[in-house]
């Protein structure tokens, strides 16, 4: 906590103890710093502070900072640290669940649907989702991990809208499928959960995922995890397969042809 307070002093300057700024005022100053500072270090410090405040002051950060955060994703995309802070902040303000910091708030009723409302604002520009997808190509954990988490938040709040955007996004599904080959289990497992969400009740996405070699990739994961001894990850693989096959005759035929080829080769 002392480190955080020290960081805020660095970003905001020294404050008169008698005139400590409110949460809303602090957020306003940080957003202004993000928008106006010409120094990357200053913008990075401000984004770090906004991330720290985005759970307790979610409404303030979302209402005042959404455009500034989007600006950072465009202008500072070469800096993995600031992009990671920004993606985490967006995940927090659009989260469909209340944080511990919000449990005692007298605005709980306002907060109950605020994540969905901020998601609606974010999706007014569909290219925002395409931008988030582009960060999956960055191998650095500080970027790929929060980008995945943010996509899951968006899917939780606006499933059909995100499905439609990903369908028309160049290589959108391919970028997600490639994550199943990530050597870091936490990334691979999060990608599995995301694909389970993404393939719900959407035959077109189900077909694309299947033709991206999904069944072979999933069986590879199942074998890596020890088959029947693999636990929850193996279960997730089968849940994704179920999504791809249920009521989808095209994928069922594709799956059967793949099995026939395996038996023929062997």
Q: Which long-range contacts (CB under 8 A, 24 or more apart) does 217-223 make?
A: 217/177, 217/180, 217/181, 218/180, 221/180, 221/188, 221/192
Straight-line distance from the first to the last Cα atom of the chain, in angstroms, rounded to the nearest whole number: 61
Q: Look up residue 218 and give its two tokens.
A: 């999933």
CA distance 66 to 107: 20
* pLDDT single digits (tens) 71-88: 999 999 999 999 999 999
pLDDT exceeds 70 at position 258: yes
Mark which of 170, 195, 210 sits at the end of a domain.
Answer: 170
At residue 174, does pLDDT exceed 70?
Answer: yes
For the chain, state the CA radius of gyration. 21
Are both 187 and 163 inside the same structural domain? no
Q: Which residues contact 203 (CB under 8 A, 6 or more apart)?
A: 247, 248, 250
Same domain, yes or no: 144 and 187: no
Q: Which domain holds residue 257?
A: 180-266
Q: Are residues 17 and 147 in the same domain?
A: yes
Total number of domains in the chain: 2
Q: Give the pLDDT confidence of 150-172 residue by residue, as tens digits.
A: 999 999 999 999 999 999 998 99
State the pLDDT at residue 18.
56
One domain for residues 238 and 266: yes
64 and 112 share a domain? yes
Segment 179-208, tens digit of pLDDT: 999 999 999 999 999 999 999 999 999 999
What pLDDT does residue 73 have? Answer: 97
Domain membership of residue 175 (yes or no) is: no
Q: Is the pLDDT of residue 141 over 50?
A: yes
154, part of any domain: yes
Asked whether residue 166 falls in the same domain as residue 91, the answer is: yes
- Residue 223: inside a domain: yes
What integer pLDDT is reported at residue 170 of this predicted model?
Answer: 84
Closest listed residue to residue 68, CA positions, set 57, 76, 56, 80: 76
Shared domain for 195 and 265, answered yes or no, is: yes
**Tokens of residue 258, six digits:** 């793949």
- The per-residue pLDDT for range 38-79, each reduced to its tens digit, is 999 999 999 999 999 999 999 999 999 999 999 999 999 999
CA 215 to chain centre: 24
pLDDT of residue 192: 98
Q: Which has the closest alpha carbon to 244: 228, 234, 255, 259?
A: 255
Q: Is residue 46 part of a domain?
A: yes
Q: Are residues 115 and 26 in the same domain?
A: yes
Place of tokens 């439609």: 164
Question: 3-class SS at 126?
Answer: coil
In this prediction the pTM is 0.87
Spatial contact of 186 and 145, defined as CB atoms under 8 Å apart? yes
């Amino acid at each position: 906590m002392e480190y955080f307070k020290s960081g805020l002093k660095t970003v905001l300057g020294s404050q008169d103890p008698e005139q400590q700024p409110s949460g809303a005022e602090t957020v306003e100053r940080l957003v202004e710093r993000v928008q106006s500072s010409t120094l990357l270090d200053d913008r990075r410090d401000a984004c770090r502070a906004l991330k720290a405040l985005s759970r307790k002051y979610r409404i303030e950060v979302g209402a005042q900072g959404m455009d500034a955060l989007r600006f950072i994703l465009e202008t500072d995309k070469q800096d993995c640290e600031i992009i990671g802070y920004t993606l985490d902040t967006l995940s927090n303000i659009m989260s469909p669940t209340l944080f511990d910091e919000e449990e005692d708030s007298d605005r709980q009723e306002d907060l109950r649907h605020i994540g969905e409302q901020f998601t609606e604002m974010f999706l007014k520009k569909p290219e925002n989702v395409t931008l988030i997808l582009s960060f999956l190509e960055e191998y650095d954990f500080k970027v790929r991990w929060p980008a995945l988490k943010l996509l899951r938040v968006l899917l939780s709040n606006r499933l059909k809208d995100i499905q439609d955007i990903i369908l028309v996004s160049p290589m959108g599904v391919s970028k997600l499928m490639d994550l199943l080959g990530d050597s870091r289990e936490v990334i691979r497992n999060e990608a599995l959960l995301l694909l389970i969400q993404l393939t719900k009740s959407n035959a077109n996405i189900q077909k694309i995922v299947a033709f991206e070699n999904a069944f072979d990739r999933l069986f590879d994961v199942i074998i890596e995890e020890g088959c029947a001894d693999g636990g929850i990850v193996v279960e997730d693989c089968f849940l994704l397969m179920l999504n791809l096959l249920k009521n989808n005759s095209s994928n069922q035929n594709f799956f059967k042809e793949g099995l026939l080829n395996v038996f023929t080769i062997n």
